[in-house]
């Protein structure tokens, strides 16, 4: 039965009663043949607002606001999934969605004789207990913050010619109801600032950027130490690049800095550990459970329970409580990231990683906050150990082929290491390699684990979801570096 508090939300946001929602579930699970055995259905409701502001060239250039109200009905029968959604929520449209979703499963090919993992959710969290929705904060307060950041970046150095600052806020109510008589309600806030600037000297132009945020109140974002840090990072990057020289090319030892460089773990390793890719046998890590896939120094964890983090959730988009999943422990593959469907098909437990961009999409296995655990070396010891190599403090874009683990990443804010010391800024460095092989070549792991500042958005199957990444300073031997020298 739908609990009273959830029924109040359904009535308030969508004008639906508990009886109407139950009719939709019954229609989806009954289908044309009148069979209910082994059929699972959930309805994902979403309502809320997102807001964006951009300050460019010293003036407010753009403001936007959009409201979302919709629901999607999913039916799962074995390895067959039917999904249908509507942006106009009423009982008539939801009943039609239920019929369409069930019809898809009845007419699709596949194996209906495998049970979906219907594990109940345990370990309830309250990871983002905010009092004030970020979208309800006065517009003038947000504009004042944009103006302060713009001023701070310009004051950093006279060579900075232009600054662009943006703020994004959102707040959504999520309600999930399923055919197991479970219901979950979550209020999900998210805030982020992004800072970029252009520096110019003697006709040379370079850019720097920084940003961050999380699932917390706008007042946290507006704290001086928060926005000032991003202003200074963006400004320093642009100014440092003015003095940069072309990056060397060749095979060399590479030191990755802590924090955002963990995106390499996310892309080159994390996607390959998602359950759907491994169930279908398309991942470089398929069939390697229990085997050594990395150096004994490497432990990789996905944790959706970290307070206030961008990638954290109280429960995933199926209603499973998020958890802390050790994926690789001391180099050995221990777990994959699972949603209900793939966990059932692979006969493994759910990990709380069934995620979706919004109500228009069915959930699939996705990362939350994925990072490499810390080690025992100091960052200074790691840098001092390299005779000649590259120190990558930040990453730009990158891509990976999950079927073989091959990756390419551009290093932004890279520095040359010579005789154990960082000597000069270099530009245009690209790291080229293979995820599993790179993990085996990790020879030192720092004691300075940190997560990124809250900027990550992960793309998969046409969906984007907020995520976190992280790592300590690490040394990887024998990385191919593409450069221009």
Structure tokens at 84: 């249908």
pLDDT of residue 178: 94
pLDDT of residue 112: 64
pLDDT of residue 189: 97
pLDDT of residue 119: 67
pLDDT at 35 over 80: no
Residue 400 pLDDT grade (very low, low, confident, very high; cuts 50, 70, 90): confident
pLDDT of residue 403: 86
pLDDT of residue 402: 85
pLDDT of residue 275: 96
Alpha helices in 167-247 (DSSP H): 218-221, 224-242
Q: Average of pLDDT values for 1-16?
A: 79
Residue 8 half-sphere exposure toward CB, CA atoms < 13 A: 3
Percentage of the chain exceeding pLDDT 90:
84
Digit-coded pLDDT (tens) for 121-134: 556 789 999 999 99
The whole-chain average pLDDT of the chain stands at 93
CA 43/CA 79 separation, integer angstroms: 18
Q: Is 158 exposed, middle or buried (0-12, 13-18, 19+ CB in 10 A)?
A: exposed
Listed range (107-116, 312-321, 374-383) with the worst mean pLDDT: 107-116
Listed range (344-353, 360-369, 398-407) with the worst mean pLDDT: 398-407
Percentage of the chain exceeding pLDDT 70:
95
Q: Among all chains, which residue has been given the structure tokens 């009943």? A: 95
pLDDT of residue 67: 96
Q: Dihedral (C-alpha) 341, 346, 350, 356: value to the nearest 10 degrees? A: -40
For residue 469, the tally of other CB atoms under 10 A from its CB is: 27
pLDDT at 17 over 90: yes
pLDDT of residue 31: 64
pLDDT at 1 over 50: no
Q: Among all chains, which residue has been given the structure tokens 């001023």? A: 151
Digit-coded pLDDT (tens) for 74-91: 999 988 999 999 999 999
pTM: 0.94
pLDDT of residue 108: 77
Higher-pLDDT residue of 113, 436: 436
Q: Average of pLDDT values for 380-398?
A: 93
| Distances, alpha carbon 268 to alpha carbons 70, 229, 252, 439, in Å | 34, 28, 19, 10
């Amino acid at each position: 039965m739908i609990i009273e508090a959830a029924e109040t939300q359904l009535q308030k946001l969508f004008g639906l009663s508990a009886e109407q929602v139950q009719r939709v579930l019954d229609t989806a699970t009954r289908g044309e043949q009148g069979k209910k055995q082994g059929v699972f259905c959930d309805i994902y409701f979403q309502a809320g607002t997102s807001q964006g502001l951009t300050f460019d060239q010293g003036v407010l250039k753009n403001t936007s606001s959009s409201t979302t109200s919709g629901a999607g009905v999913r039916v799962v029968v074995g390895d067959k999934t039917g999904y249908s959604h509507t942006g106009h929520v009423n009982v008539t449209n939801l009943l039609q969605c239920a019929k369409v979703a069930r019809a898809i499963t009845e007419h699709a090919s596949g194996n209906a004789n495998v049970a979906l993992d219907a594990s109940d959710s345990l370990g309830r969290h309250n990871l983002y207990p905010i009092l004030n929705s970020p979208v309800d904060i006065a517009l003038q307060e947000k504009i004042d913050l944009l103006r302060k950041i713009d001023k701070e970046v310009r004051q950093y150095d006279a060579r900075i010619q232009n600054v662009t600052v943006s703020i994004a806020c959102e707040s959504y109510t999520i309600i999930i109801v399923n055919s197991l008589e479970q219901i979950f309600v979550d209020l999900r806030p998210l805030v982020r600032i992004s800072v970029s600037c252009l520096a110019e000297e003697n006709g040379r132009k370079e850019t720097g950027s920084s940003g961050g945020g999380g699932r917390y109140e706008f007042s946290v974002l507006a704290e001086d130490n928060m926005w000032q840090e991003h202003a200074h990072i963006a400004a320093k990057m642009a100014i440092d690049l003015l003095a940069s020289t072309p990056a060397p090319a060749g095979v060399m030892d590479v030191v990755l800095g802590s924090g955002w460089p963990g995106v390499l773990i996310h892309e080159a390793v994390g996607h390959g550990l998602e359950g759907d890719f491994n169930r279908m046998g398309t991942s470089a890590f398929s069939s390697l459970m229990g085997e050594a896939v990395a150096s004994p120094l490497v432990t990789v964890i996905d944790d959706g329970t970290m307070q206030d983090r961008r990638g954290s959730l109280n429960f995933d988009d199926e209603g499973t409580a998020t958890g802390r999943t050790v994926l690789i422990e001391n180099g050995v593959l221990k777990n994959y990231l699972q949603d209900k469907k793939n966990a059932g098909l692979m006969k493994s437990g759910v990990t709380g990683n069934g995620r979706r961009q919004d109500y228009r999409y069915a959930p699939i296995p996705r990362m939350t906050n994925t990072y490499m655990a810390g080690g025992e070396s100091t960052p200074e010891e790691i840098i001092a150990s390299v005779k000649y190599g590259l120190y990558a403090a930040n990453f730009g874009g990158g891509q990976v082929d999950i079927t073989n683990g091959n990756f390419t990443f551009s290093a932004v804010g890279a520095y040359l290491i010579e005789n154990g010391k960082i000597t000069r800024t270099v530009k245009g460095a690209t790291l080229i390699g293979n995820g599993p092989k790179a993990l085996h070549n990790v020879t030192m792991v720092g004691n300075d684990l940190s997560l990124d500042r809250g900027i990550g958005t992960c793309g998969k199957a046409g969906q984007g979801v907020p995520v976190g990444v992280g790592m300590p300073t690490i040394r990887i031997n024998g990385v191919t570096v593409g450069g221009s020298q």
